[in-house]
Structure 1
Amino acid sequence: MQQQYFVDVILPIPVEKLFTYSISEREFGFIKPGMRIAVPFGKSKIYTALAYKLHRNPPQVYEAKEIHQILDETPVVTEQQLQLWFWMASYYMCAPGEVFRAAVPGVLLLESETIVFKNEKFREAEITLKDDEWLVYEALQHQPILKVTEIAAILDKKNVLPVLKRLLEKDVIRVKEEIHEQYRPKLVRFIRVAPAYDSEEALRELLDTLNRAPKQREVLLSLFSLSAGTIKPVKLKDLQEKTGASPAVINSLLEKEILEDYHIQTDRVGYSGKPVSDTKELNEFQTKALGGIREHFRARDVTLLYGITSSGKTEIYVKLMEEVLARGQQVLYLLPEIALTSQLIYRLQNYFGEKVSVYHSKYSNNERVEVWNNMLQGSSRTQIVLGARSSVFLPFSDLGLIIVDEEHEASFKQFDPAPRYHARDVAVVLGRFHEAKILLGSATPSVESSYNAKAGKYGLVGLKRRYGNVLLPEMELVDIKDKRKKKRMKGHFSDRLIEEIEASLAEGEQVILFQNRRGYAPVMECNTCGHSPQCPSCDVSLTYHQTRKQLRCHYCGYHMALPLSCVACGSSELDTRGFGTEQVEEELKSLFPEARTGRMDSDTTRGKYGYEKIITAFEQQETDILVGTQMLTKGLDFRNVSLVGIMNADSLLNYPDFRAFERSFQLILQVAGRAGRTEKRGRVIIQTYNPYHQILQQASMNRYGDMLTDQLNDRKQFRYPPFYRLIKISFRHKNYNTVREGAEWYTGALRNYFSTANWKREYILGPESPAVGRIRNRYIKDVLIKIPPGQNLKAVKEGIGRIHKSFSAIALYRSIRVAFDVDTY
């Protein structure tokens, strides 16, 4: 009997099990785990799968199909990556394929495309064609193959499948699936003199012959001049810029074989300068903190650095990075916001030059593939990787240190789609796979990290003095309820805030204003009947955006033109409720017409360099007042900011989340930390309707310890992390009754299953509708499971898995989308 060979693959789809495909003996010897393979799946679709395991055992319940083709010569995913991905799939209760899809840049996941070509045996006289069918047939007379998108353009309609179906039935066309490589390396075109003219005599004769072609002669002389000034090859673009020659002149030199062109592959993102500055000398407090970190790293893998704002944490990170690079290892520097990378790239490249690579979602797929490939090849460009949460998926070969800056940030949490992971927690596991050290840094550490440090699980190092002994900003709570009574408000600005802004501007200093809502106003309301326009697909009011004259939904993206009258009663008396960054910016322009104002929110930072342009303009003092949302609060370093204003602190506190108070405290202290980072003491004005609120009092006096104690006491009493683990199960369906019945069945099954483990009824909460109960026309029900200390988390997940299989077997509930969020934030 002939020996059979098989490969188990990971498909980038939400299917729990791996699939087995048959391969030849030669392929068996060539394929390695981590290589991409194109495989057929379903009726006709071809997917990019990842080879996981090679063996000789045929599948028991289905016949193994043959693979379509091998896409790589060497693995694009390392063994340690695969280990991490399977751990994530198990821990975060999702399929390995979902982790695979989230991990790799999109252009590496090639999917097949339907190709249409004519049936050569078809005869026109045999059958009559409709007009749209005839258009497709005619197009195939001139072009041998057509893509579905091209047929849609020919017919000028989106849905062309009925037309193709009729053509297939009439035997006019044939279709097949083809897979295409999407990544295209960037090739730069260079130019040089042909080898035939290397000698001086040949060159002299050439120049003499070109006397009658002065433009060609000038191009040739300019090329000599450029070549003499650099040892690098000369780009065709540089030659054209210097000479101003038209492409026709250069092409004629190429045709005469006097010049020759060639291409060199280059990275799309690169650093062309040289390191320009040595790292700063640490002060005594930083030196002590650095020594403490090293000491803890001897005994533990994870250390928490609690350093107040502007205490110089980045310089400590740089010293640690230098030590790791000296050992020839890699560093991963995780940041919560892309906005932070623009400042840090400049600082780190000043120290480390081209050893720094950047990886985040604002980079194109091709740029991310280049970072990925550089890491696989062990390029010196990837010794330091600076990036957002997706950087944990990269193919590290010898990781020595992971720095998680602003570790408390909710931006490290991925909510949709799966895997719903927290980058800080994944970084800890990634570090253990690589035997690397993990440093968590924050001015306001998360309650969980502080608890782990107190319990001795993490090392703890404090840095409680600002760099240069600069004082922490002076914080003042302003009661805007009282100010409104006394008529001391202008729009949303209290007299105190206006007074401080005037003082800062008079001294040539800059101001940051924080408002945690984008748009102009969250609600537009009719004064006559009280109607407020709602999103047709979500249970939320439409937000008014004045710059676009639109009402927009921030959940699904639906938008409509600003109505001139109420759609319910026809009244033209429309007014807004609440305010966002746009309205703050408008009021600023009327209050301070001479000041240059800017706005930084997700509306103004959509472009690739959106963050960079705004931050650079503010750094170079081209903007006097910067209004922004949360992205302003995270670690940005502006030397000339003397005043920070928080427009409405209550909007942070009044949120249905057990972490609302902790996050409010963190946000207030983080945004306050942007003020007074030089010798002059900064000022912070916090506007609130409730100045005596416990969290606001603690934040204004920088009492992190008191906040931590209160939060730990509350969470212990009400069974929340870090004492209890949480798993949230979300149910979504377009029919409300279906999702309600399905969620109730699931919850009942959970309660029955866990009643045998002596769980209390309060450990399973729900099903309940969340604050926004419908998004994108799907109704939502949530169930929250609290797992008590000492309970085996793996056993709980296995129990949920059994219930989920039973649930999926019920035909009525099969269409309900169920999502698991482990350690929900």
Structure 2
Amino acid sequence: MFARIALLSAPYSTLTYALPDIFPEEFWQEGLRVAIPLGRGALRAGILMERLEHSDLPDGVTCKEVAWPLETVLLLSEEIRALARDLAIRQGLEPGCVFGHVLPQGLRQVDLRIRWLAADRDFSCTVKQVTKLEPGLRQALAVALCRGEARLVAPGRDAAGEELCVLRVDPPWPVRPQAARQREILDYLHERGQVSRRQLTRDLGAGSAPALRSLLQAGFVALRHAEADEPADELLPPAPRAFELNADQQRALEALRAALETERPASVLLFGVTGSGKTAVYLELIRHCMEQGRSVLLLAPEVALACKLRRDAACVLPHVPLFFYHGYQPPARREEIFRRLATRQEPCLVVGTRSALFLPVPQLGCVILDEEHDSSFKQDESLPYQAKELAWSRIARQRGLLV
């Protein structure tokens, strides 16, 4: 098997690579991020754009292999890939150039570490080192990755601190009486509940590591990856008093609801002077869209306006799952939001600036551009695009509503 891989860094080419057979064929999905060799041993990040049965290279040309996958759970949905392809065609660019500018920084790098905790070893290496492993170990590592026994850890992340040890058996413990270390670990987890692997080895000593590996192999203890907690928001203002829409607002809301419920894409302009209550209409439309089981993107031209919209939404819709995204957030935070949305199934509200258009929002039903006349919705530097055109391109595929 071969694949067309889009480079996420200059020269942003789309090149042909062979897919290593140590992974099953179904593992190589379109949209998967991978590490590929380029030049004299350097590894680059790329995206698998298309699988091929045969190489399109001329006879006598050797095709390099993909070095290693950079994820096991697909983060780039077909919707996001189609949006990037459309923009690439409009701008005369390669898809890798689009992804290379819109993906969070951490998703464009290969500096990942592979962690494999097995019964007979506690193995760790970087993606760059995996190509130098002997074939048998590399094969075993690939199998462990597919089974979920190994995982990829981003640089700067505390792998041992994020792996929770979970007890899977009840006393009396099914271990040999002489296995004092194993019994100590089981007693510890029975008393404390799930704790991180780092905390366990810190409390029981480094000598507990071999006993823990034996318990993991036997299935008496399991490792679970701790989900990152959502950072606390800044102090929100008091919730506004309950109010009812006036007649004009109600008519506007009814028209928006009708457009949302059609089975074809729709675009509606909501016009009103400052202070006429457009935000109130937005929020009621968001409530209605969420009740229909569809997500909403609420975008502002500037970060300050986006912060205000986020506060308004959090106050009026306190029970709606809300994500906030903009270009001034730390790279690690933007990557975390991207990953959370990519694996999310339930509808949510995403508030942000124009860059939020490239987020993998699940079941998107409505995009709202507040102050859409503002020139900040048009990006001229780096990767040029008009947010209104992209929003329509995206919502048209979902047969949703652009406001």
TM-score over 0.5 for the alignment? yes
Alpha-carbon contact 1:279-1:315 (below 8 Å) kept: no
Which whole-Å CA distance do the structure 2 matches of 1:96 and 1:77 have between them? 13
Alpha-carbon contact 1:35-1:51 (below 8 Å) kept: yes
Please tell me the residue identity of whatever aligns with 1:13.
Answer: S
The residue aligned with 2:8 is 12
The 5-angstrom pairing of residues 705-744 of structure 1 reads none
Alpha-carbon contact 2:289-2:295 (below 8 Å) kept: yes
Which whole-Å CA distance do the structure 2 matches of 1:263 and 1:90 have between them? 39
- The correspondence for 2:328, drawn from 324, 344, 362, is 362
Please tell me the residue identity of whatever aligns with 2:106.
Answer: V
Tell me the CA shift for residue 45 of structure 1.
Answer: 2.1
- The correspondence for 2:154, drawn from 140, 163, 181, is 181
Alpha-carbon contact 2:294-2:363 (below 8 Å) kept: yes
Q: Do the aligned partners of residues 253 and 111 (structure 1) sit closer, same or farther apart at CA in structure 2, a change above 3 Å counting?
A: closer
The residue aligned with 2:231 is 269
Tell me the CA shift for residue 267 of structure 1.
Answer: 2.8
Which whole-Å CA distance do the structure 2 matches of 1:58 and 1:27 have between them? 19
**Structure 1 position 426 matched with structure 2 position 395:** no
* Structure 1 SS opposite 2:301: coil
The 5-angstrom pairing of residues 448-467 of structure 1 reads none
Alpha-carbon contact 1:107-1:365 (below 8 Å) kept: yes
- Post-superposition CA distance 1:646-692 (Å, at most 9, x none): xxxxxxxxxxxxxxxxxxxxxxxxxxxxxxxxxxxxxxxxxxxxxxx
Which whole-Å CA distance do the structure 1 matches of 2:243 and 2:228 have between them? 33
* Structure 1 SS opposite 2:382: coil
The residue aligned with 1:288 is 251
- Post-superposition CA distance 1:264-286 (Å, at most 9, x none): 43235356999966863211121
Q: Do the aligned partners of residues 31 and 76 (structure 1) sit closer, same or farther apart at CA in structure 2, a change above 3 Å counting?
A: same
The residue aligned with 1:89 is 88
The residue aligned with 1:791 is none
* Structure 1 SS opposite 2:98: helix
The 5-angstrom pairing of residues 504-543 of structure 1 reads none
**Structure 1 position 49 matched with structure 2 position 12:** no
Alpha-carbon contact 1:45-1:112 (below 8 Å) kept: no
- Post-superposition CA distance 1:600-644 (Å, at most 9, x none): xxxxxxxxxxxxxxxxxxxxxxxxxxxxxxxxxxxxxxxxxxxxx
The residue aligned with 1:40 is 37
Tell me the CA shift for residue 38 of structure 1.
Answer: 0.4
Q: How many residues are paired up?
A: 319
Please tell me the residue identity of whatever aligns with 1:283.
Answer: N
Which whole-Å CA distance do the structure 1 matches of 2:344 and 2:267 have between them? 26
The residue aligned with 1:391 is 356
The residue aligned with 1:98 is 97
Which whole-Å CA distance do the structure 1 matches of 2:19 and 2:194 have between them? 45
Alpha-carbon contact 1:15-1:95 (below 8 Å) kept: no
Which whole-Å CA distance do the structure 2 matches of 1:86 and 1:404 have between them? 22
Which whole-Å CA distance do the structure 2 matches of 1:279 and 1:412 have between them? 32
Tell me the CA shift for residue 397 of structure 1.
Answer: 2.7
Q: Do the aligned partners of residues 358 and 50 (structure 1) sit closer, same or farther apart at CA in structure 2, a change above 3 Å counting?
A: same
- The correspondence for 1:373, drawn from 307, 317, 339, is 339
What is the TM-score of this pair, normalised by structure 1?
0.35
Which whole-Å CA distance do the structure 2 matches of 1:389 and 1:433 have between them? 19
Alpha-carbon contact 1:84-1:430 (below 8 Å) kept: yes
**Structure 1 position 24 matched with structure 2 position 23:** no
Which whole-Å CA distance do the structure 1 matches of 2:163 and 2:37 have between them? 38
In structure 1, list runs of 5 or more residues that go unmatched: 114-146, 148-178, 197-223, 236-250, 256-261, 440-825
Alpha-carbon contact 1:412-1:424 (below 8 Å) kept: yes
Which whole-Å CA distance do the structure 2 matches of 1:252 and 1:83 have between them? 48
* Structure 2 SS opposite 1:352: coil
* Structure 2 SS opposite 1:402: strand
Please tell me the residue identity of whatever aligns with 1:100.
Answer: F
Alpha-carbon contact 1:427-1:438 (below 8 Å) kept: yes
Q: Do the aligned partners of residues 421 and 272 (structure 1) sit closer, same or farther apart at CA in structure 2, a change above 3 Å counting?
A: closer
Q: Do the aligned partners of residues 287 and 13 (structure 1) sit closer, same or farther apart at CA in structure 2, a change above 3 Å counting?
A: same
What is the TM-score of this pair, normalised by structure 2?
0.68
**Structure 1 position 322 matched with structure 2 position 322:** no
Tell me the CA shift for residue 188 of structure 1.
Answer: 7.8
Please tell me the residue identity of whatever aligns with 2:18.
Answer: S
Q: Do the aligned partners of residues 285 and 12 (structure 1) sit closer, same or farther apart at CA in structure 2, a change above 3 Å counting?
A: same
Tell me the CA shift for residue 322 of structure 1.
Answer: 0.9
* Structure 2 SS opposite 1:266: coil
| Rg larger for | 1
Q: Do the aligned partners of residues 55 and 233 (structure 1) sit closer, same or farther apart at CA in structure 2, a change above 3 Å counting?
A: closer
Please tell me the residue identity of whatever aligns with 2:254.
Answer: G
Q: Do the aligned partners of residues 332 and 21 (structure 1) sit closer, same or farther apart at CA in structure 2, a change above 3 Å counting?
A: same
Tell me the CA shift for residue 93 of structure 1.
Answer: 2.3
* Structure 1 SS opposite 2:84: helix
Which whole-Å CA distance do the structure 1 matches of 2:274 and 2:73 have between them? 46
Q: Do the aligned partners of residues 283 and 354 (structure 1) sit closer, same or farther apart at CA in structure 2, a change above 3 Å counting?
A: closer
The 5-angstrom pairing of residues 678-717 of structure 1 reads none
Q: Do the aligned partners of residues 300 and 18 (structure 1) sit closer, same or farther apart at CA in structure 2, a change above 3 Å counting?
A: closer
The residue aligned with 2:380 is 415
- The correspondence for 1:331, drawn from 296, 306, 323, is 296
Q: Do the aligned partners of residues 314 and 60 (structure 1) sit closer, same or farther apart at CA in structure 2, a change above 3 Å counting?
A: same
Please tell me the residue identity of whatever aligns with 1:109.
Answer: R
Q: Do the aligned partners of residues 66 and 233 (structure 1) sit closer, same or farther apart at CA in structure 2, a change above 3 Å counting?
A: closer
Tell me the CA shift for residue 60 of structure 1.
Answer: 2.5
The 5-angstrom pairing of residues 66-215 of structure 1 reads 66-111=65-110, 181-182=154-155, 184=157
Which whole-Å CA distance do the structure 2 matches of 1:290 and 1:112 have between them? 48
Please tell me the residue identity of whatever aligns with 1:398.
Answer: Q
Which whole-Å CA distance do the structure 1 matches of 2:330 and 2:12 have between them? 30
Which whole-Å CA distance do the structure 1 matches of 2:162 and 2:107 have between them? 22
* Structure 2 SS opposite 1:403: strand
Which whole-Å CA distance do the structure 1 matches of 2:387 and 2:106 have between them? 23
* Structure 2 SS opposite 1:80: helix
Higher relative contact order (CA closer than 8 Å, sequence separation 6+): 2
Tell me the CA shift for residue 415 of structure 1.
Answer: 1.8
The 5-angstrom pairing of residues 779-790 of structure 1 reads none
Q: Do the aligned partners of residues 309 and 27 (structure 1) sit closer, same or farther apart at CA in structure 2, a change above 3 Å counting?
A: same
The 5-angstrom pairing of residues 581-660 of structure 1 reads none
Please tell me the residue identity of whatever aligns with 1:377.
Answer: T
Please tell me the residue identity of whatever aligns with 1:302.
Answer: S
* Structure 1 SS opposite 2:71: coil
The residue aligned with 1:500 is none
Alpha-carbon contact 1:11-1:50 (below 8 Å) kept: yes
Which whole-Å CA distance do the structure 2 matches of 1:277 and 1:35 have between them? 44
Please tell me the residue identity of whatever aligns with 1:428.
Answer: W
Tell me the CA shift for residue 12 of structure 1.
Answer: 1.2
Q: Do the aligned partners of residues 41 and 273 (structure 1) sit closer, same or farther apart at CA in structure 2, a change above 3 Å counting?
A: same
